[in-house]
Amino acid sequence: MKTNDILMILISIILCGVSIYILIRNKEKKSKKLIVYCIIGMFLVMIDACMLQFFYHDNAIYKNFRMIALLSIMASVAYVDFTELRIPNEYIITGLVYWVLSIFVELICGSQFIVANIISSLIAAAALFIASLLCKICIRGSIGAGDIKLLVMGLLLGLDGIWSAIFLSLVLSFITAIYFLITKRKGKKDAMAFGPALAIGTWLSIFLTGM
């Protein structure tokens, strides 16, 4: 096992630990379901981390850092959004911090594309923000105010990675909405959490393509 592989696995554990800490810190009661969810979430993030390092091994370490950082945040966001229909600002701030850290990692790695990658991240974030805002304005109830905060996905994935993640997330969200409507667990006017679909869609996209 190479030094980069060990380093990436350790980074993945630390990033998951930070997100889990934020998640359980705000919970007065640490239920068994929450603990089980945290364990499963961390396990799934570690699967993608291993896939990136051992299967998609041509990826630069700073690129893998961004994807694992996003997954670690989305795993906790999915739980909070599903149970409370909100996305706390703590996760968005954490995502911004991770993005800045990833730029320093890219500098250390001596990347020749750092300026292009920063521009790509900013354009992807702006595109997500505008698209989310238009959906909220034009289609009532299609997206919540909290979902607009997920522009941090654009920062960490960039233009190259955002499209497949969003596509799979929208497909999963559509299937979930149909299921809830058919089973009458939700009505047409009821709010539905988009965070879980985004988390699973992003995880699948990274797992299947390595971005």
Label each residue of 24-91 as H, E or C: HHCCCCCCHHHHHHHHHHHHHHHHHHHHHHHHCCCCCHHHHHHHHHHHHHHHHHHHHHHHHCCCCHHH
147 pLDDT more than 80: no
pLDDT tens column, 84-129:
877 788 888 888 899 899 888 888 887 788 888 888 888 888 888 7
- Count how many Cα atoms sit within 13 Å of the Cα of residue 22 in the half-sphere of its side chain: 22
Six-digit token pair at 91?
A: 């996760």
pTM (predicted TM-score): 0.86
pLDDT tens column, 41-80:
889 998 888 888 888 777 778 888 889 999 999 888 888 8
